[in-house]
Amino acid sequence: MCEGPSFEHVQSIGELLLGKTKHRPTIGIICGSGLGGLADMVEDANVVLYSEIPSFPISTVPGHMGKLVFGTMKGKQVVLMRGRLHYYEGYPMWKTTIPVRVLKACGISTLILTNAAGGLNSDYSVGDIMIIKDHIDLPGISGECVLRGGNDERFGPRFLATVDTYDKELATLTKSIAGKLGLSDIMREGTYIMIGGPTFETVAESRLLRNFGADAVGMSTVPEAIVARHMGMKVFGLSLITDMCSLQYDVASATTHEQVLAAGRKRAKDLQELVSNLVQNM
């Protein structure tokens, strides 16, 4: 049987972390590649390194610093993951979401997910921000679902309905905030598809993913969203389009991680303002 997290161990980590901070956050934010600057907006911060947490997985990817940042953002108690975990790093799928379960143990009821993604929809451009209205769990439907293995009912149900994974009220609120910030022209709403990585897509693969109905593609987020919903958390997701996938051979160009990080930095201020105002108005 596939190994999974221990409820008792997750709870013990949550208790340990709450002992390191005076803050009692209800909102969690996971920072995607190049988007760690969101953590710089946290006031009265308490920082805990992943390496200081017993049996906690460690981020190994450039742009993911491996820190939990507790504090306040626009007057709300928050905790940010400055660095997420990926399946391609060699972790079992369930282990990439241990931090999400720990956030729940710390009292988080709403999880905001951000990521850097490749654009598949030809109407999109680099620098667009996509509200995730739905996802396609490509690893999951091919046998690597994050909930595979034994199920502890204290976490959530054996069989999870995922048709309502992403919160519609938060999507509506975000659109309204984007309008007030003058960001409506770059806002999109679409479907995110997860691939295992770490390779970027071939032209043929990009065409396939687009034919599946995906508007953007990345290597994260979906397992976190599923686990958060498994534990009854409210979920909202944003993808920053940092590159456009090649759908034609005669205009194909290679994507690099450095380009992704650079695009993230370029749009970082807008995304930070969007997320912080969303937190303020929740």
pTM score > 0.75 for this model?
yes
- pLDDT tens, residue order, the chain (282 aa): 457 889 999 999 999 999 999 999 999 999 987 677 888 899 999 999 999 998 888 887 766 578 999 999 999 999 999 989 999 999 999 999 999 999 999 999 999 999 999 999 999 999 999 999 999 999 999 999 999 999 999 999 999 999 999 999 999 999 999 999 999 999 999 999 999 999 999 999 999 999 999 999 999 999 999 999 999 999 999 999 999 999 988 866 667 767 766 766 778 889 989 999 999 999
What number does CATH give the domain 7-281?
3.40.50.1580
Domain ranges of the chain: 7-281
Query: 185 CB contacts (<8 Å, ≥6 apart)?
Result: none
Cα distances (angstroms) measured from residue 269 to each of 75, 79, 127, 167, 176? 19, 19, 12, 24, 18
Rounded to 5 degrees, what are φ and ψ at 67? -140, 145
Q: Six-digit token pair at 80?
A: 């940010």
Q: Interhelix angle for 98-105 vs 222-230, to 10°? A: 40
